[in-house]
Amino acid sequence: MITEKDVEVNCFTPRDYQVELLDKACKRNVIVQLGTGAGKTFIAVLLLKEYGLQIMSPFESGGKRAFFVVDKVALVDQQAEHIQCHTTLNVGKMHGNLNSSVWDKQSGFDEFMSVHNVVVITAQVFLDLIDHAYFNIARLALVIFDECHHALGVKHPYRVIMDRIMRVPEQDRPRILGLTASLINDKTPPRQLEAKLSKLECVLNSAIETASDLVAISKYGAKPTEFVVASSDYDPSNACGGEILQLLEEYRKFCTSTQEFDPDFDIDPRKPIQEALNRTLAVLRQVGPWAAWKVSQMWEKELHKLTKQTFLQQKTVDFLIMGETCMTTVMRRFRQGELNLLVATSVLEEGVDVRHCNLVIKFDRPIDYRSYIQSKGRARKRDGGAKYFILVDEADSGKCSEDLRDFVQIEKMLLRRCRNVHNPGIESENELRFSENVDALVPPYVVPSTGAQVSLSSAIALVNRYCAKLPSDIFTRLVPQNRLIAVNNYGKTWYKAELLLPINSPIKRPITLETPVESKKLAQMAVALEACRVLHQNGELNDHLLPVGRESIAELLNQLDEDPDEWAPGLSAKVGSARRKQLYDKRVATALHEALPVKGEPCYIYVMELELLKEPSPESNPKRRRFANPLDYEYLFGFLSSKILPKIPPFAAYLRQGDMRVHLVRASTQVTLNSQNLTMIKHFHHYIFKNVLQLCKANLDFHMDASTPINTLIVPLHRTASNTNDKFEYSINMKYVQEVVQMMGDTPRVPDEVERKNFKFRAEDYRDAVVMPWYRNLEQPVFYYVAEILENLTPSSPFPDEEYSSFNEYFIKKYNLEIYDQTQHLLDVDFTSNRLNLLLPRAGGGRRKSATPKADDSTALSRQRQIYVPELMDRHPISATLWNLISALPSFFYRFVYDAFK
């Protein structure tokens, strides 16, 4: 039975090389040579699915069957379970120790074959079935030989089985698939290897195929400079290493032998501890005490969690395994250049795309050719002189050098074999290159209406240009597949060709060159010319023989509006669906152009007045925070403009403080700024958008002049009641601007020890404040609103988690920080909002919730609290009230621009 952990969760989506090899196996007999763990068996599973129609036909009605032949009895159950797991086929098992009664009578065997579509069988039993006429070879659809290199043995059953198969007429022979890893994985000398490959091909009547990615890396990849660095293992007997080694060994022996744990545990609690000790011992022996100390610290943190874990429902414990989300983040940062060093296991050798590297260090020497070529292929920085280092033990350096010499010879041999199969050699290329007029060999294809033509020499380039125009994502290979077919023409080898365009081309059938030609290169050029003719006749090339891109078709359909509710090629998704997105040019209303204030000239103040329509609902305010009415704010925001803007009607906005109506009001008086004040306001404006709203992308410079699309400057305003009427008067709060600009340094600011000891808590400093912890997240600080000052809590108060007795103990154990002011009150805070679109209502919960608090609401609310110590927080120069208004600025300006267009 296959357990959950044995199921290959990554095999439901075949890798590129598996699909490539499957395609070859469907067309002819092949031997797949891939390293261990590279998915050979899964290719066999895919091929079984391809033959599903034949092998699922009733046996009594002439249906055929597939046999998976293995060399050892132990492999029968393993391979049968694998096939059963990944297919819906009925899988039977046969070997000498099982179901011997099946072949006592022919009727019993026929009944067995009628029930099963695939039979996993040992080689000798399969041979006996054939020799004793229980099974007719003509009823075979597919034979898969596992570890097929055994066929090289003179008396091996694999070889004898193939001898029996080759005796029947060709049309009755089954498809053959051989699976092996040893042709590349073993240390066969290159001269013997080539002879072994040819002999195995002859015995199994198959062509040996390997993944073209290995050949592609060898042929087209950068050639790094290779170095072998000999190193010695750490000698634990030096210094204190011996004592540490002895101590760890004693602990490991005790952990192995002790029985002092609750027998009711579902799992053995000693296993994670044993693993921690074994890993630490391995690191100590290989790298030394410093690395062992770092590893032991990680294990200590993980093992500490065991004291709080309940084992009754836990089946496995995993440690130090990076989660998929974390790995994805690390890979993204490495690709984008945020990280320039990546430490990874061998899984990075294949299947994962990373950026070009100029240095690759392999900690252990490559054990086989695939590992060597894949890891070397990561060093692909062409211009910088890539280097590839292999670290080996001193005692193993000689053997490593021999292996590397063999790998180089294997690489050359594989390139030669690959070139001889589907790629023309250098000789034929030179033969064509020096031909007087290659285009005279085949007439060009001419479009009568325009006179455009494509000749033999330009056809390949045009096909490649067409493929590059096809729509694709990063996972699609826009490369046509070319296959050369050798034919005998009066004793000479001539060539036909077959071209298959990428899967996203409308031309699905292979384009073939039926008339053989004398050279491989000429065959490639001729089939490319035929492809150009087919593409033009199918409308993929226009009358000027230029590719018709999917984008132009989509644009034409948009203009004609033909059947807009249906999907069309080139459109990203069905029209009207949520995934259907269209690009448009961003424009700014001309009323906001050339409105930048100029020093010494009067400008207008526009005020963003807020009117509270509805207080926040309990769903959007679960902590029952109390907010002030915007009319009671002493400060608010506005912007400066050198010209009068068109009137903009009030609009709704949905802020944290509730549903608002926004009025854009022009102040009754103008203001004139000097050069110093204007510069100060520009700095304030830049700070708001870069540090508070964090809208400025990396590598962008702040630039404010008449050429920028929006020429307004954000300013904080002071509001006072007018003495003459009920309206307000507004003025720029330059004092506040100066305070913010002066404190524009790095936040949060980390105080020194003297400042901390002199810290005294004042409640008025933290009311309506924005704070950030300075003891963590310094690179990406987190900002909080101070919602409430908890006068009933101090640093000595009980900590919410029972693991710590007080806040003092928590910060000492977690951050090694001592809190000096023991009388300060603690802060209840909320996250600052990063929600930019405030023009739509806040999304509530999916279920209807009662607005009436339940009896245990106070307990739930206390659990939701985020409590911080003021001494360990830095105050931001911008208040919480203004911060809330700043968060709404992008929405306000978006609406201003929209309304100004009308």
Per-residue pLDDT reduced to its tens digit, 670-712: 999 999 999 999 888 888 888 888 777 655 667 777 667 777 8
Q: Give the per-residue pLDDT at 530.
A: 93
Query: Mean pLDDT throughout 486-499?
Result: 86
pTM of the model: 0.41
Q: Is 278's pLDDT higher than 70?
A: yes
Q: 266-281 in b/e burial notation, b at 16+ Cβ within 10 A?
A: eeeebebbebbbebbb
50-64, 440-454, 580-594: segment of lowest average pLDDT: 580-594
720 shares its domain with 816: no
Q: Give the per-residue pLDDT at 849.
A: 40
Query: Mean pLDDT throughout 639-661?
Result: 87
Q: Give the per-residue pLDDT at 185.
A: 46
326 shares its domain with 390: yes
- pLDDT of 358-367, one tens digit each? 888 888 788 7
C-alpha distances in Å from residue 31, one per residue of 40, 64, 201? 10, 22, 8
Residue 848, in any domain of the structure: no
d(C-alpha 772, C-alpha 779), whole Å: 12
Residue 847, in any domain of the structure: no
Peptide bond into 870 cis (omega under 30): no
Residue 558, exposed/middle/buried by CB under 10 A (0-12, 13-18, 19+)?
middle
d(C-alpha 640, C-alpha 657), whole Å: 26
Residue 316, in any domain of the structure: no
Q: What percent of the chain has pLDDT over 90?
A: 13
77 shares its domain with 148: yes
658 shares its domain with 722: yes
Residue 366 CA, distance from chain mean position: 26
Q: Give the per-residue pLDDT at 570.
A: 47
Q: Is 572's pLDDT higher than 90?
A: no
Smallest CA-to-CA distance from 732 within 634, 638, 641 is with: 638
d(C-alpha 439, C-alpha 437), whole Å: 5
- The sheet with strand 784-790 has its strands ordered as 866-868, 826-831, 784-790, 770-773, 873-875
pLDDT band at 158 (very low <50, low <70, confident <90, very high): very high
Q: Is 54's pLDDT higher than 60?
A: yes
Smallest CA-to-CA distance from 756 within 673, 817, 839 is with: 817
Q: Is 122's pLDDT higher than 70?
A: yes
End-to-end CA distance of the chain: 70
446 shares its domain with 371: no
Residue 60, exposed/middle/buried by CB under 10 A (0-12, 13-18, 19+)?
exposed
417 shares its domain with 448: no
C-alpha distances in Å from residue 490, one per residue of 487, 494, 518? 10, 9, 12
Query: Mean pLDDT throughout 335-345?
Result: 78
Q: Give the per-residue pLDDT at 587.
A: 74
Query: Mean pLDDT throughout 269-275?
Result: 75
d(C-alpha 501, C-alpha 505), whole Å: 6
Smallest CA-to-CA distance from 605 within 669, 557, 682 is with: 669
Alpha-carbon torsion angle 144, 67, 41, 316, nearest 10: -160
pLDDT band at 9 (very low <50, low <70, confident <90, very high): very low
Q: Give the per-residue pLDDT at 477.
A: 59
**How many separate domains does the chain show?**
7
Smallest CA-to-CA distance from 868 within 811, 804, 816 is with: 811
Q: Give the per-residue pLDDT at 313.
A: 33
Q: Give the per-residue pLDDT at 802.
A: 82
Q: Is 863's pLDDT higher than 70?
A: no
CB count in 10 Å sphere of residue 456? 21
15-19, 150-154, 471-475, 676-680: segment of lowest average pLDDT: 471-475
Residue 849, in any domain of the structure: no
Residue where one domain finishes, among candidates 393, 422, 451: 422
594 vs 142, higher pLDDT: 142
The DSSP line for 248-286 is HHHHHHHHHH---S-TT-SS-THHHHHHHHHHHHHHHHH
pLDDT band at 576 (very low <50, low <70, confident <90, very high): low
Please state the length of the chain. 902
Query: Mean pLDDT throughout 403-427?
Result: 63
331 vs 83, higher pLDDT: 83
Q: Is 177's pLDDT higher than 90?
A: yes
97-101, 414-418, 489-493, 735-739: segment of lowest average pLDDT: 414-418
73 shares its domain with 179: yes
537 shares its domain with 484: yes
**Is 295 in contact with 283 (CB distance < 8 Å)?**
yes
Q: Give the per-residue pLDDT at 568.
A: 44
Q: How confident is the prediction for the chain on average, in pLDDT?
A: 77
CATH number at residue 455: 3.30.160.20
Query: Mean pLDDT throughout 212-218?
Result: 55
183 shares its domain with 50: yes
- The helix-helix angle for 426-433 and 520-537 (nearest 10°) equals 70
- pLDDT of 773-820, one tens digit each? 988 877 778 888 898 899 899 999 998 888 888 999 999 988 888 999
CB count in 10 Å sphere of residue 424? 20
567 shares its domain with 594: no
Smallest CA-to-CA distance from 554 within 482, 475, 483, 469 is with: 469
DSSP 615: P
CATH number at residue 379: 3.40.50.300
Residue where one domain finishes, among candidates 370, 401, 422: 422
d(C-alpha 769, C-alpha 762), whole Å: 12
Query: Mean pLDDT throughout 283-294?
Result: 74
């006072």: which residue's tokens? 720
Copy the structure tokens of residue 581: 């997105």
Q: Give the per-residue pLDDT at 199.
A: 86
Question: Tell me, what amino acid is at 82?
Answer: H
Copy the structure tokens of residue 890: 């992008």
The parent domain of residue 895 ranges over 590-743+886-901
Q: Give the per-residue pLDDT at 750.
A: 86
Q: Is 238's pLDDT higher than 70?
A: no
Q: Is 117's pLDDT higher than 90?
A: yes
pLDDT band at 558 (very low <50, low <70, confident <90, very high): low
Query: Mean pLDDT throughout 628-641?
Result: 81
Number of H helices, E strands in the chain: 27, 27
> 3-class secondary structure for 569-604?
CCCCCCCCCCCCCCCCCCCCCHHHCCCCCCCCCEEE
Helix or strand holding residue 764 (H, E)? helix 763-766
Q: Give the per-residue pLDDT at 396.
A: 80
Query: Mean pLDDT throughout 405-416?
Result: 72
Residue 488, in any domain of the structure: yes
pLDDT band at 882 (very low <50, low <70, confident <90, very high): confident
Residue 881, in any domain of the structure: no
β-bridge partners, 94: 121
Q: Is 432's pLDDT higher than 50?
A: no
608 shares its domain with 705: yes
Q: Where are the alpha helices (DSSP H) in 564-697?
A: 675-687
- pLDDT of 514-548, one tens digit each? 888 888 888 888 999 999 999 999 988 988 888 88
DSSP 447: -
Q: Is 77's pLDDT higher than 60?
A: yes
Q: Is 669's pLDDT higher than 70?
A: yes
Residue 673, in any domain of the structure: yes
568 vs 655, higher pLDDT: 655
pLDDT band at 142 (very low <50, low <70, confident <90, very high): very high
Residues 6+ apart with CB under 8 A from 191: 409
644 shares its domain with 610: yes
Most confident of 210-224, 253-267, 340-354, 493-507: 493-507
Copy the structure tokens of residue 788: 């409430």
β-bridge partners, 586: none
Q: Is 634's pLDDT higher than 80?
A: no
Query: Mean pLDDT throughout 256-268?
Result: 63
49-53, 123-127, 531-535, 779-783: segment of lowest average pLDDT: 779-783
Q: Give the per-residue pLDDT at 360.
A: 86
Residue 315, in any domain of the structure: no
